[in-house]
Structure 1
Amino acid sequence: MPQHSLKDYWITETLRLREEHWGPIEDATLLHQIRHSTEPVSHKIIQRAALIAKRDGLAATIEKWSANARLAFWAMALLAIFAGIGMAASALGTGHVNLLLALVALLGLHAITYVFWLLSFLAPYHGGTLLGQAWLWLGKKLARGPDATLAPQAFINILNQNNGLRWLLSAISHGIWVVMMAAGIMTMLALLAARQYTFGWETTILPVSSFVSITQGIGFLPHLLGFSIPSADIIQQSSGLQTAGPESQAIWSSWLIGAVMVYGLLLRLASLLLCLWKTRQAMRQIQIDATLPAYAGLVDRLSAHSEHIGVDAPAPALQTARRNTNLALAPAGSPLVVGLELSPRAPWPPFALSATVHDQGKLESREQRHQLLAHMTRQTVPALLIVCDAAQTPDRGILHFITDLSNLASRTDIYLQSGHGEAENRLQLWKERLQQAGFGIEQLHETQKTLPQWIQAS
């Protein structure tokens, strides 16, 4: 059995397309969680995608598109039921049934589409059956939002790896035909039970002997399943020149239903089962291609050996002094206060801190952020206060970093420092974005008065 499900590969491909369109996603905390795993790189890529999808709501988007795709299928199935009812009603008419025209009405379009489906295997794949493409088109139309449009494209990409899309769309098409044929047969049984019909062959130029051969040939397979097949005498009596008795009409009814059952319903049902089996086989062989250009940098970042492998040569002397970016990390179990995106002129700390609170200072570099994330991953942080400058615009990167820090602390509060003018205008934007990221209004503070007691000195 495969270690990962179709949904795992689907999420991974959707994330790959998303990063191709809108650039890399902030994942520093997630990489710390999975980098040292002993699993293959392809499994790490899938694990990273699952964590990001859960954090950013991408998994919910895929679930919504899946629900819309199922809705599209059931809508098409409902239309197929009405089509089957109409097909059977038009084939039987009001009284006398022309058997040749009835067969064309019941099996003609089905036979043509089935032959075209068989012939499609003789040519390169170009998109699948008409009904399958209609289902895919309808599912795309129901998608809303930029990520939702990537979900069906990712679905197509992963199934195209092993020709699985052809078999899935074929299964959709055969499934719709099964519903249509079943509805047609049920309608025929209801009409034949409630009304009186006569059956006959009608022709001007064909001899009666030709109808004998056609009837017995068509009825051979249904007869093996117990359906009646008319004798030569009954066929000759149904040429329109004579009137057949009630027993003959019952035999013709059984023959017609048997023909639709075997050459319509059962044929489509067998094809549906074949396509589902082939689709399942294709899904079992889905793999992540770690050699794709989109994964080139990610593979290196997911490899544990990329962090530190020792010194292979002495470093040259520095020509200029560098600012020390190391943090004074807190001991395990200490509450933390940290500043993000604060102005260098802003006073720090913004207020007197309790003796039990560890001051991590302002984070001014990427190295400091990674160092703090790594520390919080290894240590228990019971409470965290993040101080932000409300005069800055809350971009996606800083929101992701705040969320990553929050996921590593038992409790998180955010203090939005606001002054006058432009900071006041952006304060509401900060609140909206943070609430969209999952923070409660009780976690957001505009003034020191609402901060939790553990932060400030008494």
Structure 2
Amino acid sequence: MTELNNLWLTETIRLREEHAGPLEDLEANRLARSAAGDLPTRIQRRALWLAERDGLSDALKHWLQGARLALIVLTVLAVVSGAGLAFAAMGDGLHPVNVFWALGSLLGLNLILLLSWALGLVFAGEHGASLGRLWLWLSEKFARDAKAAQLAPALLLLLQRQKLNRWAIGVLVNSLWLLAMLSALVILLTLMATRRYGFVWETTILSADTFIAVTQALGALPALLGFSVPTEEMIRASGDAALNIESARQAWAAWLVGVLLVYGVVPRLLLAVLCLWRWKSGKAALCLDLNLPGYAQLRERLMPTSERLGVSDAAPQQLHRVESGVSEQQSEGALLVAIELDDDRPWPPQLPNNVSNAGILDSRESRNKLLEQLSRFPPARLAIACDPRRSPDRGSLALIAELARNASATRVWLLQAPPGEALDADRLGDWHVALEQLELPFADCAPMNWLETGHD
């Protein structure tokens, strides 16, 4: 799946939660936190899991299939329309071709819509091209998935942040018109190669000089590419009747083809390339707007303040001492908590009546839940039980420090090994060194008297 698709699904989930309320996301949040990374990465990981669970990933595949089918339909329509323009311009070959009627048929609608697109791009900033709306509508219809209806609005909102709508629609519109103009050019050349056409111009109120000036002006750029332009004598003579001179027919035919190429095909080609370049450069800069309420609310759930990045950075030379931010007046009671104990160790031990059991912290959710509780109701005394058979990694030590900062007084209980098993002396020494750097008191016996009375 591409980066754009990931951002697209993430934005779809945000819109869905904005309109229908928060989704059930406990497992998604847990997986996002376990994957680590920065906040945008975790938000995307959460959204992709929810999209997979709720069928939005499949809906996106159906929408993309519908979009490709819609694009094929529009491509066929463009080719057929271009051919129709050429047939309408040249007629059946039995009557002379009015060159300016033919030119209007080939370029008139194209130039009007091109000017409309350019004005919309410059002054309005966004351009809701009919072809763009038609493509989105057909994509949704061909997808045949009710959930796909949520995707188009999310895509538009995502692209609007980098003002990519105009360039995406520009690529579509200009590419389709380029196909139409190329189709018209091919049919025009085919008709001229297989039929004999005569060319005339007609007017009631304009003079011949006007047509001579317009013809030569339009033919100036094509002439630079080698296309011939009718002479002044040919233009004047064509105002009375179609010249039955081979050179005159060829000159008018070359002029018509050159004008169509220079003023029809080339502008659409250049604009399609420009829009494609702007689209690709803008797409690379797409990112989530973390200031949106839907994403801002996820910050604490996906990157809680108690979380540490673990081994992603270099180990410090020494750990900083723990300073409790809780006074005795703000705290009360006693609490015992254990960190990542194995199932072979019975827990909890017998506790005095005034000591509460906080259970075993073995997941990020249980840790965050306890830390949130301690921030509101800090205990006067906190005992943290650890299994010294495990290495004192930075994640465990950071959690111990965070717990200690939310209690008036803290002691660490290094549990004895189960019967028949001995503790590793080096690993136990590592625990002693780490806890001494944290300046937390520790012991290998249960601090029950201290928890109950505050005295040893």
- Same-fold call, TM cutoff 0.5: yes
1:16 maps to 14
Aligned pairs for 1:120-131 within 5 A: 120-125=120-125, 127-131=127-131
SS at match of 1:123: helix
Q: 1:149 to 1:331 in 2, by over 3 A?
A: farther
Q: Check whether the contact 2:67–2:135 (CA below 8 A) recurs between aligned residues.
A: yes
What amino acid maps onto 1:110 in structure 2?
N
Alpha-carbon shift at residue 125 of structure 1 (Å): 3.5
Q: 1:48 to 1:222 in 2, by over 3 A?
A: same
What amino acid maps onto 1:49 in structure 2?
A
Which of 76, 79, 82 is the matching residue for 1:84?
82
Deviations 1:144-164 (A, max 9, x none): 444311111111011101210
SS at match of 2:202: coil
Q: Which moves more between the two structures, 246-255 or 47-56?
A: 47-56
Determine if the alignment matches structure 1 residue 39 to structure 2 residue 23. Answer: no
1:289 maps to 289
Q: Check whether the contact 2:10–2:48 (CA below 8 A) recurs between aligned residues.
A: yes
* TM-score normalized by the length of structure 2: 0.66
Alpha-carbon shift at residue 35 of structure 1 (Å): 2.1
> 2: distance between equivalents of 1:262 and 1:285?
34
What amino acid maps onto 1:133 in structure 2?
R
Deviations 1:253-291 (A, max 9, x none): 111111111111111111111111122222122221112
Deviations 1:399-425 (A, max 9, x none): xxxxxxxxxxxxxxxxxxxxxxxxxxx
Gaps of 5+ in 2: 309-321, 346-357, 367-456
2:273 maps to 273
What amino acid maps onto 1:46 in structure 2?
Q
Q: 1:329 to 1:152 in 2, by over 3 A?
A: farther
Gaps of 5+ in 1: 333-366, 376-458
Q: Check whether the contact 2:32–2:43 (CA below 8 A) recurs between aligned residues.
A: no
Q: Check whether the contact 1:159–1:282 (CA below 8 A) recurs between aligned residues.
A: no
Q: Check whether the contact 2:199–2:242 (CA below 8 A) recurs between aligned residues.
A: no
Aligned pairs for 1:368-383 within 5 A: none
> 1: distance between equivalents of 2:50 and 2:242?
77
Determine if the alignment matches structure 1 residue 230 to structure 2 residue 203. Answer: no
Q: Check whether the contact 2:121–2:127 (CA below 8 A) recurs between aligned residues.
A: no
Determine if the alignment matches structure 1 residue 159 to structure 2 residue 159. Answer: yes
> 1: distance between equivalents of 2:291 and 2:181?
46
2:409 maps to none
Deviations 1:321-371 (A, max 9, x none): x9x999986479xxxxxxxxxxxxxxxxxxxxxxxxxxxxxxxxxx99995
1:203 maps to 203
> 1: distance between equivalents of 2:54 and 2:339?
30
2:23 maps to 25
What amino acid maps onto 2:250 in structure 1?
A
Deviations 1:161-215 (A, max 9, x none): 1210011112211111111111111111111111111011112232222222111
Alpha-carbon shift at residue 232 of structure 1 (Å): 1.4
Q: Check whether the contact 1:202–1:239 (CA below 8 A) recurs between aligned residues.
A: yes
> 2: distance between equivalents of 1:180 and 1:26?
49
> 2: distance between equivalents of 1:370 and 1:272?
58
1:343 maps to none
Q: Check whether the contact 2:339–2:360 (CA below 8 A) recurs between aligned residues.
A: no
What amino acid maps onto 1:118 in structure 2?
A
> 2: distance between equivalents of 1:56 and 1:274?
38
Aligned pairs for 1:210-221 within 5 A: 210-221=210-221
Aligned pairs for 1:298-377 within 5 A: 298-306=298-306, 312-313=325-326, 316-317=331-332, 330=343
2:58 maps to 60
What amino acid maps onto 2:103 in structure 1?
L
SS at match of 2:97: strand
Alpha-carbon shift at residue 293 of structure 1 (Å): 1.1
Identical pairs, percent: 34
2:355 maps to none
1:93 maps to 91
* TM-score normalized by the length of structure 1: 0.66
> 1: distance between equivalents of 2:294 and 2:133?
29
Q: Check whether the contact 1:36–1:304 (CA below 8 A) recurs between aligned residues.
A: no
Q: 1:206 to 1:304 in 2, by over 3 A?
A: same
Aligned pairs for 1:353-432 within 5 A: none
What amino acid maps onto 1:123 in structure 2?
F
Determine if the alignment matches structure 1 residue 239 to structure 2 residue 239. Answer: yes
Q: 1:88 to 1:35 in 2, by over 3 A?
A: same
Q: 1:310 to 1:78 in 2, by over 3 A?
A: farther
> 2: distance between equivalents of 1:372 and 1:39?
18
> 2: distance between equivalents of 1:289 and 1:331?
47
What amino acid maps onto 1:213 in structure 2?
A
Alpha-carbon shift at residue 38 of structure 1 (Å): 5.8
